Structure 1
Amino acid sequence: MARSATTIRRSTLTVPVAPLGPENPLPPLLPRDDPHRIDPRQRATLPPDMARQVGYAPLTSVLPTRLRDGYGRDRVPTDLDTIVLENDRLSVTVLPAYGGRVYAMRHKPTGRDLLYTNPVIQPADFALNGAWFSGGIEWNIGATGHTTLSCAPLHAAVLDGPGGAPMLRLWEWERLRDLPFQVDLWLPEGSDFLYAGVRLRNPHDGTVPVYWWSNIAVPETRHGRVLVPADEGWHFGYEHSLTRIPFPEWRGADRSYPLHGDFPADYFYEVPAGSRKWIAAVDRDGDGLVQTSTATLRGRKLFVWGAGPGGRRWQRWLTEDGAPGYAEIQAGLARTQLEHVPLAAGGEVSWVECYGPMDADPTVVHGPDWAAARAHAEKRLAATLPEATVDAAYLAWLPLADRDPDDVLHTGSGWGALEVARGGYALPGTPYDPATLGPDQRPWLTLLDTGRFPEEEAAPERPPGPSLVGGPWRERLECAPGGPLTDYHLGVAQWHAGDRAQARRSWERSLSAAPSPWTARCLALAEAWGGHPQRAIAVSLAAAKRALATQGVDPVALAALARDMIPVLLDAGRADIARRVFDRLPQDVRARGRFRLLDARILLALGDREGARAVFDAGFEVADLREGDEILSTTWALLTDDPLPAAYEFRMRPA
């Protein structure tokens, strides 16, 4: 029987979606709570190469990106744009508007869904900049954690791939590290495997840190097991400790089974240098998914939610009632996700990875002999996809990586076009079209073309547009004529560069020229972060008063400002002022879960434990609760010795 041709086509998918809502318009000046940090003293005990990369170029903030915290928990049926790759063996669905996520992958001969496919799109605060959702295959670039592009559009286009099969190219400009990247997806005719060619490029004059982990969600079942060619690895829990362990048996349990543990945890594997790089997840029948790659993608990892109440609660939080759980198998450039790898000036790094079905003998892969189980899985992989085939695919794909795409299917942001305009970069294969430049980029294009930032855009009722913080942009702002907006953006860039004193002076100049709640908010955070509580109180109150008194103030910005300023006032011991600010907020803002929690904290600080307890008893949901954040349980513990209600149980580590 003749094989059908491989196709790539646009389509739509209707699923319940919690809308992302608007971006937070205020610059995220401070470090976000990092659930993946370890104590510097422990870092000194790690192998030297790992220790260097764990301590290399950590983020101080997620600037220049903005936070995505405008979503809620109400989902509505929504038509999503998709791109479908299909041959006679596989059907692969990609969401170009959500980071190029591979949403689903179905194996036609068996009718099996090889990935965990979330039946809903429910954002939660897991990405570096907030909104993220679970399921499928995601492409994580930037820094430790889920990419800022988790819920952002990517450029997408079709071109001829290896062997003449059509290939889907996804690309964007990653803004945390200022790097262009691409992911090329293709299905060879008659293949059971999806191929992905990935390339990261450094067009700059200096070395930059890079990070990559391909994150694959797989169904979590009671008897599911994860197989990998390793006998030891590293356990990382939310106690912020990285511990070298034997694998799979550790502390009386077989850790290759995702449900053999109570708390969420990462297991990073020590895959021997000369071994084939692969990881597989199989169900009780030995069926599942396997991922393999060329040797450059050296790391492999398993993330589990665990069987305890916190992990179960997070699983339900990320989907709908009754949906199955999931685990994550991952592949990365380093041994652990705590590491960043240097990429030299003008350099690039690339590889090919493949995803397809695993069909193994259940009596062997679930047998007591770990070495036999993984050897059998590797033998099955070799029979369906020899390592030499993957290496040959890389050599066939790499010459095509520079070929410009033909048929554009989706458009990403204009930030890449702006950076290309500034740097004059030649980036064949990933065109950043000037037509993508939009309102967020135009003021910066004016600065680039004229040496002057357009001050006429200042408006007291809404915050300034996005700031740019890279060295070349900071230098242009420093050379530009002063003005309220110029000094505001200059302060943000100086703060990001670690020049805190100059940042304060720039914001003070801006405020002297044009009083603004948005600039005052920056200065208030700077004073609080610098250990000046009295000055922080005064500036916070001034920012809040001015925002509340401004006619037609942007409601999104007002809520964001209050969310920043009220904790500053509480930390400074002025719950009385925090109360007055809170009570002047619009009712719809005060009714949100995040602000219900703030209300309880204010009441608690004022000594009204009964009132604070009543807020919890009435019930609320903090839609943007941060991964690893224990604010719900710690606030509850200050109210009462009663057990924490299940609705507030999100703890990811032992109490």
Structure 2
Amino acid sequence: MATTVRRDVLTLPAAGLGPDNPLPPLGPPARARRVEIRDREGLPRDMARQLAHEPLRSVLPTRRRDGYGRERTATDIETIVIENERLRVTVLPGLGGRVHSLFHKPTGRELLYRNPVFQPADFALNGAWYSGGIEWNIGATGHTTLSCAPLHAARVSAPDGGEMVRLWEWERLRDTPFQVDLWLPADSDFLYVGVRVRNPHEKPVPVYWWSNTAVPEERRVLAPADEAWHHGYARTLRKVAVPEHDGEDRTRPARAEFAADYFYDVPDGTRPWIAAVDADGHGLVQTSTPRLRGRKLFMWGSGPGGRRWQEWLTEPGTGGYAEIQAGLARTQLEHVRLDAESEFAWLEAYGPLSAAPDAAHGDDWAAARDEVAARLADALPAETVAAAYERWLPHADTTPGEVLATGSGWGALEVLRARYELPGTPFPEATLGPEQEPWRDLLLSGAVPEPRRVAPPGPTLVAPHWRDMLETAPAQPHTEYHLGVAQWHAGDLAQAVRSWERGLALAPSRWPLLRCLAVADRESGHGERAADRYAEAFDDLCAERRDDGAAWVAATAALGREALDALLAVGRAEAARAVWARLHPGTRATGRFRLAEARLLLAEGDAAAALAVFTDGFEVADLREGEESLGEVWAALSDEPLPDRYDFRMRP
């Protein structure tokens, strides 16, 4: 059969994403991973340089996505299905463009770990993320801020004369447009994925890319390397042997005790690939053109924390998964320089692989990886991938045809501002929406419009060109608020405080500015003053909020959470209780605030009541990867071991 592209609907038990957090994320990313300067000695020179290259300051201009819960209902999710006689590929354009399923029809095998539910969890740089399938991580170290966001999608002419699907968006952390072309030749067992990341600016930008594939964890993972860079939750980077170190075969994910990353040190000039095969030698292989040099295995481990996370991200009894990944650098701690007005492009291929099980699972590592490399060469020679890349590249600029899905309006705003020419990835002005409208006004009139109604402020743009426009705009309170956020992001902390203080003098809505000043006090070590300002900000918000709509409930929850933390940090339990009392009842019932209640009761001296909160049971829907707050509070309440339901610990 010829390759077909169609729209379809997938019904899954799904938790709603809820509203975004309206407070600008002024702090550093919660999962910022860095290697200290003293630990970079002895590393390859390019790795050491890229480890230090422009680490992320914050997730601005994006917003935190923490409004989801854990109650799942049957939900229709729009999909795009690409199919030939060999493969059926299911893509979720509204959820980061993820490949949800890669089904090999001749053998009846699902090649990926296919999550049977949609359950957001706090793993992305800005919060909401979900497990399973193949995801496209761009921006900075971690899971992309686009994990649960819609991408643009359309039909495009494929190099073989058929159809392929193009996904594209404007990545906002680094201001880089990108595209992912999914091409399935008519008689192919392999899905080709052409990727292009562009820098349209007049200066270099740091780039990060890792394609992340979930596979069942009982498979063995193989790659063409004898060593790997190990990175665990102790945050150290060290060279280890492959497959075995510390007495255990680390290519078998289910056998490890604790979660860890293994970045394979693929020798220069070696064909890059990574595979995961089951006990019978069947599984998935991923390969690419040389630009995508890195390969990685992530495993959850067999410890109680890893097992708990596996259950948390799906449903008990559905099986665990590991991740095999491919990236631009050796490790995910690096960012690669992309020169001005240039691009990176490469081709990936995903498909089935069958190897002799006695060799692929044998104790002779060289024989095992040689067997997989040979079977890959038989199924898809490196020359075939290189030729497919050369055929695809001229089609990367092809104008998309029928629109299959629509992403955000942020790319359209940037194209409107700078008149970028981006063949192949149009960002039409028609996609501009309410969030972009104030910034369009600033661009065209030189002024930020003051809000027409009382509401939590919209998102702030922080790139230098937008900051320059804010600095020359009329100094209205709303402008001073956004200007301060942009200055804070740029590292000009003192000027940010001055802008917020100027805005505060005339602002009809004071709480957004007071909250920003509270963050500044907290970051500068003035805990008491930060607590005062948080309390004042929360008082102002409660007096201003107009209804119990989603926007106000989200604002109250977000500011209340920060105010509680600030007040408890300086021992002001009575003031924290006053904040607690004014939260919406539905907010107080959520797991995050049940944990806050336990902390509050503990601060008030009622340890028995705090322990009862744990005994009654709760789930913190937005528990952060690596977060240890549950164990810390429990340890203050009891000498008993942390109950399994609360044990998400990722390290010894």
* TM-score normalised by structure 1 residue count: 0.98
Q: How many residues align?
A: 647
Tell me if the contact between 1:35 and 1:240 (Cα under 8 Å) persists in the aligned partners. no
Tell me if the contact between 1:458 and 1:464 (Cα under 8 Å) persists in the aligned partners. no
Q: After superposition, what is the alpha-carbon deviation per residue over 1:298-324, rounded to whole angstroms, capped at 9, x for unaligned?
A: 000000000111000000000012111
Q: Match for residue 608 of structure 1? A: 606
* Structure 1 residues 457 and 491: CA distance shift in structure 2, 3 A: farther
Greater CA deviation, 318-327 or 508-517? 508-517
2:531 to 527, 537, 562: 537
Measured after TM superposition, the shift of residue 541 of structure 1 is 0.9
Tell me if the contact between 1:155 and 1:410 (Cα under 8 Å) persists in the aligned partners. yes
Counterpart check, 1:335 vs 2:330: yes
Tell me if the contact between 1:278 and 1:291 (Cα under 8 Å) persists in the aligned partners. yes
Measured after TM superposition, the shift of residue 547 of structure 1 is 1.3
Q: Match for residue 518 of structure 2? A: 524
Q: Match for residue 169 of structure 1? A: 166
In 1, Cα distance between equivalents of 2:258 and 2:113: 20
Q: After superposition, what is the alpha-carbon deviation per residue over 1:130-181, rounded to whole angstroms, capped at 9, x for unaligned?
A: 0000000000000000000000000000011111121100000000000000
Secondary structure, in 3 states, of the residue corresponding to 1:297? coil
Could you say what the CA RMSD is over the residues aligned between the two structures, in angstroms?
1.0
**Identical aligned residues as a percent:** 63
Q: Match for residue 508 of structure 1? A: 501
1:404 to 399, 404, 411: 399
* Structure 1 residues 163 and 176: CA distance shift in structure 2, 3 A: same
Secondary structure, in 3 states, of the residue corresponding to 1:324? coil
Measured after TM superposition, the shift of residue 36 of structure 1 is 3.1
Q: Match for residue 281 of structure 1? A: 276
The residue identity in structure 2 corresponding to 1:550 is E
Secondary structure, in 3 states, of the residue corresponding to 1:428? coil
The residue identity in structure 1 corresponding to 2:446 is G
Q: After superposition, what is the alpha-carbon deviation per residue over 1:441-482, rounded to whole angstroms, capped at 9, x for unaligned?
A: 0110000001011014362xx211110000000000000001
The residue identity in structure 1 corresponding to 2:266 is V
In 2, Cα distance between equivalents of 1:379 and 1:359: 10
The residue identity in structure 2 corresponding to 1:495 is W
Listed as ranges, the matches of 1:187-206 within 5 Å are: 187-206=184-203
Secondary structure, in 3 states, of the residue corresponding to 1:518? helix
The residue identity in structure 1 corresponding to 2:622 is D
Counterpart check, 1:549 vs 2:546: no
The residue identity in structure 2 corresponding to 1:449 is L
Measured after TM superposition, the shift of residue 602 of structure 1 is 1.6
Secondary structure, in 3 states, of the residue corresponding to 1:425? coil
Measured after TM superposition, the shift of residue 601 of structure 1 is 1.2
Tell me if the contact between 1:35 and 1:238 (Cα under 8 Å) persists in the aligned partners. no
Secondary structure, in 3 states, of the residue corresponding to 2:253? coil
In 2, Cα distance between equivalents of 1:120 and 1:605: 38
Q: Structure 2: which 5+ residue stretches go unaligned?
A: none
Greater CA deviation, 502-511 or 42-51? 42-51
In 1, Cα distance between equivalents of 2:167 and 2:601: 49
The residue identity in structure 2 corresponding to 1:143 is A
Q: Match for residue 301 of structure 1? A: 296
Secondary structure, in 3 states, of the residue corresponding to 1:162? coil
Tell me if the contact between 2:292 and 2:346 (Cα under 8 Å) persists in the aligned partners. yes
Measured after TM superposition, the shift of residue 210 of structure 1 is 0.1
In 2, Cα distance between equivalents of 1:385 and 1:316: 36
The residue identity in structure 1 corresponding to 2:586 is D
Counterpart check, 1:444 vs 2:439: yes
Q: After superposition, what is the alpha-carbon deviation per residue over 1:106-153, rounded to whole angstroms, capped at 9, x for unaligned?
A: 000000000000000000000000000000000000000000000000
Tell me if the contact between 1:458 and 1:485 (Cα under 8 Å) persists in the aligned partners. no
Measured after TM superposition, the shift of residue 397 of structure 1 is 0.5
Q: Match for residue 123 of structure 2? A: 126
Secondary structure, in 3 states, of the residue corresponding to 2:254? coil
Tell me if the contact between 2:34 and 2:51 (Cα under 8 Å) persists in the aligned partners. no
2:488 to 492, 495, 501: 495
Secondary structure, in 3 states, of the residue corresponding to 1:342? strand
* Structure 1 residues 420 and 302: CA distance shift in structure 2, 3 A: same
Secondary structure, in 3 states, of the residue corresponding to 1:641? coil
In 2, Cα distance between equivalents of 1:258 and 1:182: 32
Counterpart check, 1:270 vs 2:270: no
Secondary structure, in 3 states, of the residue corresponding to 2:496? helix
Listed as ranges, the matches of 1:80-229 within 5 Å are: 80-221=77-218, 224-229=219-224
Q: Match for residue 578 of structure 2? A: 580
In 2, Cα distance between equivalents of 1:94 and 1:555: 33
Secondary structure, in 3 states, of the residue corresponding to 1:331? strand
The residue identity in structure 1 corresponding to 2:384 is T
Secondary structure, in 3 states, of the residue corresponding to 2:13? strand
In 2, Cα distance between equivalents of 1:57 and 1:293: 27
Tell me if the contact between 2:32 and 2:141 (Cα under 8 Å) persists in the aligned partners. no
* Structure 1 residues 267 and 345: CA distance shift in structure 2, 3 A: same
Greater CA deviation, 305-314 or 574-583? 574-583
Q: After superposition, what is the alpha-carbon deviation per residue over 1:204-225, rounded to whole angstroms, capped at 9, x for unaligned?
A: 011100000000001122xx20
Q: After superposition, what is the alpha-carbon deviation per residue over 1:7-61, rounded to whole angstroms, capped at 9, x for unaligned?
A: 1110111111101011111111111321633334213443222111111111111
Greater CA deviation, 180-189 or 580-589? 580-589
Secondary structure, in 3 states, of the residue corresponding to 1:290? strand
* Structure 1 residues 548 and 383: CA distance shift in structure 2, 3 A: same
Q: Match for residue 636 of structure 1? A: 634
Tell me if the contact between 1:156 and 1:171 (Cα under 8 Å) persists in the aligned partners. yes
